[in-house]
Homo-oligomer: A and B are copies of this chain.
């Protein structure tokens, strides 16, 4: 813990309370902020609605103010609005869960989803953030199309499942393939039993603005479907890019 200013401390408290609700003493033991100070900060956070105190449990929770702020963010993301009808379309065509994400530095942030109506369907949580971008199709899209060309060198290649690619050379070849064909695939690399297909969305400057993809159980996303789905996702992503003002630069040479 470096920062001593109260705002940094307040955010640290929120991060910890995000993991689970917590009593004062536990919070105190983790943060090592003096009792009187911690009390005062918690009081302000409760007053502002950022933290909720559940008296019966004597525990502090994240407050619902955070949920409403988050919904403001989601409401103000134009990508979400534009992608909406395309996501519906993609979901109907594939019968799988459709996910919309944006790059957030070296991480991926899921900003929307449309769940498959199938009884066996994938759980996706809006707002979740994953730093394991080497291990999922949407993540590999970031690696392949990020403005930061050295991004691959900056992330740890953690083994998440038995299928996760942790060899950097193999990953480089994979990324090269993704760049050429315009869509990515992963076979249970982030989660056992889950296969994903994803494609990049570009803004008017040609920068990666988002990732759209589908995710489903490996028994349903079979080999013969992958290429078909890949092209479908890619085409939908291109349509969204077009609405964002992107005009394809490469390959249109005259």
Does A48 interact with chain B (Cβ within 8 Å)? yes
Does A35 interact with chain B (Cβ within 8 Å)? no
Contact across chains for A71 and B127 when beta carbons are under 8 A apart: yes
Interface segment, one of A58-66, A151-159, A172-180: A58-66
Does A250 interact with chain B (Cβ within 8 Å)? yes
Contact across chains for B56 and A250 when beta carbons are under 8 A apart: no
Contact across chains for B69 and A125 when beta carbons are under 8 A apart: no
Does A144 interact with chain B (Cβ within 8 Å)? no
Contact across chains for A73 and B67 when beta carbons are under 8 A apart: yes
Count of identical protomers in the assembly: 2
Residues on the B chain within 8 Å of A127, using CB: 56-57, 67-68, 70-71, 74
A62-B69 contact, Cβ under 8 Å, with A7-B7, A76-B20, A250-B192:
yes
Residues on the B chain within 8 Å of A161, using CB: 249
Contact across chains for A204 and B48 when beta carbons are under 8 A apart: no
Could you say which of B15, B129, B162, B247 contacts A194, with CB atoms under 8 Å apart? Answer: B247
Contact across chains for A69 and B68 when beta carbons are under 8 A apart: no
1/0 per residue, CB under 8 A from B, across A128-153: the answer is 11000000000000000000000000
Residues on the B chain within 8 Å of A248, using CB: 192
Contact across chains for B57 and A109 when beta carbons are under 8 A apart: yes
Tell me the smallest distance from the CB of A108 to a CB of chain B, in Å: 11
Tell me the smallest distance from the CB of A79 to a CB of chain B, in Å: 12
- Inter-chain CA distance A128–B14, complex, in Å, is 20
